């Protein structure tokens, strides 16, 4: 990468989304940071407690809330992109506010429940999306492999959630107390069987393909392994707001921030700056917007952190602030389902999902040693579209 052009990041050699180094730091590094924070929490005696202020600032404010505003660099700070689909990009926030206000006016509890489950769906689908992108990058098109990959990443998230729903109340919540509805205990028993079967099957298949046929997809394996480990640790094994926050937020928000940063710096609007100036612009923008949002939440709704914001209260006529401040979050959730479709975003497909030519060539040669069920063929498949 040159100092004058952040867009000059070389294409990854092999089935990596960004590059070997960036991928490992992004997915492995965020997971390692989560585990490090768990160790620090244990050492400080807060592992089974609510999140202290420094955790809220580092994980919630600077990562979780900030990554929502990174969508702006993909859409709202890009005039060309805004002109491409104005109906979608202006209509979604307006609809999010209108529907949110309508629901919140009738039942604040229902509003928070719906928002929580939309967030859960977004978190699950993002992990699924990474797995599908790694499949595309490696040229995996086999049907049974796709089904196993999808089932494994889904159960890695759904089983901890089933355990959570089957053991309410817990010492932590997704958004606010009571936002989840209870499930019977047998729901967790069912997902436990699937979890115990699918994860070993996935990694056994990965090991066999690697050892026998020299086909490895380490990025995909890393996403599946870290998702399964941290969701299980943070939700099932441990039972505290601190543990849930550090295991859930970082592996979700950091990879998304990296994706948006790289996508922006490689675009026309993001070129022509040094690496450092681009990083400063990107992070300072999302952090400032995150701070302003949390200031409004705190001074208008929660009234919990005046030492971080201000003592000046913000008016909240008719309870309008909650649905209004929920708009960035809802817009992020909804647009994420449109922005990263490889069939409709050719640039995204070419830069982050198209099979690596050299890797695909070797895969094609090695395919002669295996059956179609054992080893995927090189190519791309619209069925793996995120």
- Give dist(CA 230, CA 211) in Å, integer: 27
Q: What is the pLDDT of residues 197-228, one digit of tens each?
A: 999 999 999 999 999 989 999 999 999 999 99
CB distance 125 to 207 below 8 Å = no
Mean pLDDT for all residues in the chain: 89
Q: Is residue 370 part of a domain?
A: no
Q: Which domain holds residue 340?
A: 7-360
Greater model confidence, 328 or 275? 328
Give one DSSP letter per residue of 322-363, joined into a string: HHHHTHHHHHHHHHHHHHT-TTT-HHHHHHHTSPPHHHHHHH
Say what the pLDDT of residue 97 is: 97
What's the length of the chain?
386
**Three-state DSSP string of 138-153:** HCCCCHHHHHHHHHHH
Q: Is 68 exposed, middle or buried (0-12, 13-18, 19+ CB in 10 A)?
A: buried
Query: Taking Cα atoms as reference points, which of 18, 104, 127, 173 lies closest to residue 316?
Result: 104
Whether 10 has a pLDDT exceeding 90, the answer reads no
List strand residue ranges (DSSP E) for 169-306, in order: none
Q: Is 370 exposed, middle or buried (0-12, 13-18, 19+ CB in 10 A)?
A: middle
- Give dist(CA 236, CA 253) in Å, integer: 21
DSSP letter for 319, please: G
Q: What is the pLDDT of residues 91-133, one digit of tens each?
A: 999 999 999 999 999 999 999 999 999 999 999 999 999 999 9
Q: Is residue 62 part of a domain?
A: yes
Say what the pLDDT of residue 7 is: 44
Say what the pLDDT of residue 341 is: 85
- Give dist(CA 228, CA 224) in Å, integer: 6
Give one DSSP letter per residue of 356-368, joined into a string: PHHHHHHHHHHGG
- Give dist(CA 4, CA 117) in Å, integer: 43
Write down the H helix ranges in 107-180: 108-138, 143-165
Based on the structure, what is the number of domains in the chain? 1
Task: Tell me the CA distances in angstroms from 207 to 31, 204, 367, 372, one per residue in order.
Answer: 21, 5, 16, 17
Residue 353 CA, chain-centre distance (Å), reads: 17
If residue 32 lies in a helix (H) or strand (E), which one and from where to where? Answer: helix 29-44
Q: Is residue 126 part of a domain?
A: yes
Q: Is residue 154 part of a domain?
A: yes
Q: What is the pLDDT of residues 282-317, one digit of tens each?
A: 999 999 999 999 999 999 999 888 888 888 888 888
Say what the pLDDT of residue 12 is: 57
CA dihedral sign, ordered 236, 238, 241, 245: negative
Say what the pLDDT of residue 5 is: 43
Residue 175 CA, chain-centre distance (Å), reads: 16
The position carrying tokens 């992070």 is 283
Task: Flag the least confident range among 186-200, 225-239, 279-293, 336-350.
Answer: 336-350
Q: Is residue 345 part of a domain?
A: yes
Q: Output the six-digit token pair for 376.
A: 């995927």
CB distance 237 to 42 below 8 Å = no
Q: Is residue 378 part of a domain?
A: no
Query: Taking Cα atoms as reference points, which of 291, 329, 300 lies closest to residue 115?
Result: 329
Whether 381 has a pLDDT exceeding 50, the answer reads no
Whether 4 has a pLDDT exceeding 50, the answer reads no
Say what the pLDDT of residue 185 is: 95
**∠319-68-107 over CA atoms, to 5°?**
25
Q: Is residue 1 part of a domain?
A: no
Contacts of 213 (CB under 8 A, 6+ apart): 366, 369, 370, 374, 375
Contacts of 384 (CB under 8 A, 6+ apart): 132, 135, 136, 140, 141, 146
CB distance 122 to 330 below 8 Å = no
Say what the pLDDT of residue 271 is: 64
Query: Taking Cα atoms as reference points, which of 178, 183, 182 lies closest to residue 107?
Result: 178
Q: Is residue 198 part of a domain?
A: yes
Say what the pLDDT of residue 308 is: 87
């Amino acid at each position: 990468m040159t100092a004058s052009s952040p867009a000059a990041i070389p294409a990854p050699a092999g089935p990596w989304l960004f590059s070997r180094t960036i991928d490992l730091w992004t997915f492995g590094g965020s997971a390692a940071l989560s585990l490090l924070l768990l160790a620090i929490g244990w050492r400080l005696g807060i592992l089974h407690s609510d999140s202290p202020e420094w955790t809220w600032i580092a994980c919630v404010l600077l990562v979780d809330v900030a990554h929502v505003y990174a969508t702006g660099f993909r859409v709202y700070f890009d005039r060309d992109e805004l002109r491409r689909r104005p109906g979608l990009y202006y209509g979604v926030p307006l609809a999010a506010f209108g529907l949110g206000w309508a629901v919140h006016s009738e039942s604040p509890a229902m509003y928070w429940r719906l928002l929580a489950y939309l967030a859960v769906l977004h978190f699950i689908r993002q992990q699924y999306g990474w797995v599908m992108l790694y499949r595309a990058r490696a040229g995996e098109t086999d049907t049974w492999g796709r089904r196993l990959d999808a089932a494994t990443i889904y159960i890695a998230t759904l089983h901890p959630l089933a355990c959570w729903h089957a053991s309410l109340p817990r010492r932590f919540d997704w958004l606010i107390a009571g936002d989840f509805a209870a499930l019977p205990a047998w729901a967790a028993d069912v997902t436990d069987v699937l979890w115990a079967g699918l994860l070993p099957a996935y990694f056994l298949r990965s090991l066999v393909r690697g050892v026998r046929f020299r086909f490895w997809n380490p990025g995909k394996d890393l996403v599946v392994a870290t998702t399964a480990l941290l969701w299980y640790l943070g939700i099932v094994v441990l039972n505290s707001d601190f543990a849930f926050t550090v295991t859930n937020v970082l592996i979700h928000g950091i990879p998304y921030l990296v994706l948006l940063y790289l996508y922006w710096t490689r675009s026309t609007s993001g070129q022509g700056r040094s690496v450092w100036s681009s990083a400063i612009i990107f992070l300072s923008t999302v952090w400032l917007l995150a701070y302003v949002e949390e200031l409004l939440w705190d001074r208008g709704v929660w009234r919990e952190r005046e030492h971080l914001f201000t003592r000046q209260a913000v008016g909240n006529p008719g309870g309008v602030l909650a649905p209004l401040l929920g708009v960035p979050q809802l817009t992020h959730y909804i647009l994420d389902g449109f922005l990263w479709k490889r069939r409709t975003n050719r640039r995204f497909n070419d830069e982050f999902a198209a099979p690596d030519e050299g890797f695909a060539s070797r895969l094609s040669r090695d395919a002669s040693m295996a059956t179609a069920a054992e080893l995927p063929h090189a190519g791309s498949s619209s069925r793996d579209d995120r």
